[in-house]
Amino acid sequence: MTVPIKISALIKGLQTGWRDLHYKHDNSWWESFGGAKTQQWVQIWLLSVNGTMLLSLVAGLARLIMAALSGGSDLVDVALPVTFGMVQALVIMWVTFDPLVYIMKGNAPTLSLRWVEVCVLVGMAIVTFAVMTAAQDY
């Protein structure tokens, strides 16, 4: 849970160190990151962790279905590691669920149109890459 706070501390430390070294800026006073900024970092971190775990569950389920449809010994080779990964994803989601609910209560971040556009473009790039890779296999 403290990873986003540590990342923001590293970024702030590098910024103030750079100002000290190159601009002779006086950083002798302590400055907090501010409550809202830290909360936003933690929200983004927890949302990204839970989103990645949800994506892992979906991908694992798809892989198990593909292995089952292909038949043969592929299911035996795939079932154990994929199921283990899916259980790990569930455990991580279970552990981070309560902090996520607590920190999102009444202060959920909003998704701006700019970020929706970025997500659509990244999604299109992934689909294009997947189609081109699949076309090379044939």
Give the gyration radius of the chain's Cα atoms.
Answer: 21
The pLDDT of residue 52: 93
DSSP-derived letter for residue 27 is -
One pLDDT digit (tens) per residue for the chain, 138 residues: 667 777 877 888 788 777 777 766 665 544 454 545 667 778 888 888 999 999 999 999 998 888 888 876 777 788 889 999 999 999 999 999 888 888 888 776 677 788 788 888 999 999 998 888 877 766
**Phi-psi group of 71: left, alpha or beta (phi > 0 → left; psi -120 to 50 → alpha; rest → beta):** left
Residue 2's pLDDT is 66
Cβ contacts of 43 within 8 Å, gap of 6 or more: 103, 104, 107, 108, 109
Q: Where are the domains of the chain?
A: 3-107, 112-138
pTM of the model: 0.58
Buried b (16+ CB within 10 A) or exposed e, 46-59: bbebbeebeebbee
CA distance 137 to 134: 5
pLDDT of residue 29: 47
Residue 3 and residue 45 in contact, taking contact as beta carbons nearer than 8 Å = yes
